[in-house]
Amino acid sequence: MSAIPPTKMTVVYVASTGHIVAAVTRRDTTSPSPSVADLVGDGIHLRMATAPTTSSGPVGTFVIPPSDLASVDVDFDQVGTLPWARAINPPTVSSSSGQAQPIVNNRLMPFPTSALPAVSPPKPGSPVSVTIVIPTTMVIPTGSTYYIVFSQPATMTGAPPTASGPLSSSGTTTVPFPNLTLPTTTSGTSYPVLILVPTMLPYVENLAL
């Protein structure tokens, strides 16, 4: 007897932005859905570049803790073969019995070249900061939040910093990282930074020192 084809996928996504970071197929839809902790343990490790991937762009490995993630069940054909270019829209807290079928947004847009996110190195009196500009030609949902996570090369001390907060719907949002600890000798070092904004494709930029 042939195996029953899968009908559902459990997707793991960043709770604050909806970006899907993992998906697993499910044949047994009668049992409770696995929790985020069941799926990712102490965190999910992403090897990520700007989407769509370019050969010249920075690439980093990012650890997203389970506290920043959520999961939900969707129909098998909603996610396709490129889950990280899709998002749950709007984000929901978690999957639950009787929950309405979530919408998977498969039309995430790239940041325009005139308004790419920027990562500024530390200066005297100013910490590392990430700047996100929402041009007037872009429309994001009211109350949207950003999510930012740094890669952690061996030269960075402490836990990889993350940040999530309200995003200006039109204009500039600057996110400082005053507690980011960098080594004394940093010349020529770069730290990839993953920047997520609702309705936009994932973006990776380097903090170059």
Residues 97 and 143 in one domain: no
For residue 130, tell me if it sits in a domain. Answer: yes
Has residue 158 got a pLDDT over 50? yes
For residue 154, tell me if it sits in a domain. Answer: yes
The domain boundary residue, chosen from 105, 126, 149: 105
For residue 3, tell me if it sits in a domain. Answer: no
Mean pLDDT, residues 115-122: 87
The domain that contains 185 carries what CATH number? 2.60.40
Tokens describing residue 165: 């907060």
Residues 98 and 23 in one domain: yes
Cα gap 36→205, rounded to integer Å: 27
For residue 127, tell me if it sits in a domain. Answer: yes
Residues 23 and 90 in one domain: yes
For residue 49, tell me if it sits in a domain. Answer: yes
For residue 162, tell me if it sits in a domain. Answer: yes
pTM: 0.84
Tokens describing residue 19: 């970006």
Q: Are 162 and 149 in contact (CB under 8 A)?
A: yes
Q: Are 194 and 135 in contact (CB under 8 A)?
A: no
- Range name among 65-69, 71-75, 99-103 with the lowest pLDDT average: 99-103
Domain count, the chain: 2
Q: How many residues does the chain have?
A: 209
* Domain encompassing residue 185: 113-208
Residues paired with 192 in a beta bridge: 206
What is the structure's pLDDT at 196? 93
pLDDT-derived band at 97 (thresholds 50, 70, 90) equals: very low
Mean pLDDT, residues 27-42: 80
Mean pLDDT, residues 100-121: 83
Residues 203 and 178 in one domain: yes
Residues 136 and 61 in one domain: no
Q: Are 130 and 175 in contact (CB under 8 A)?
A: yes
The domain boundary residue, chosen from 105, 137, 167: 105
pLDDT-derived band at 12 (thresholds 50, 70, 90) equals: very high
Residues 119 and 204 in one domain: yes
For residue 181, tell me if it sits in a domain. Answer: yes
Compare 53 and 66 and report the one with higher pLDDT.
66
Whether omega for the bond prior to residue 52 falls within 30 degrees of 0, making it cis, is yes
**Hey, CA dihedral for 175, 17, 114, 52, is it positive or negative?**
positive
Has residue 131 got a pLDDT over 80? yes
pLDDT-derived band at 209 (thresholds 50, 70, 90) equals: confident
Has residue 93 got a pLDDT over 50? no
Q: By percentage, how much of the chain surpasses pLDDT 90?
A: 19
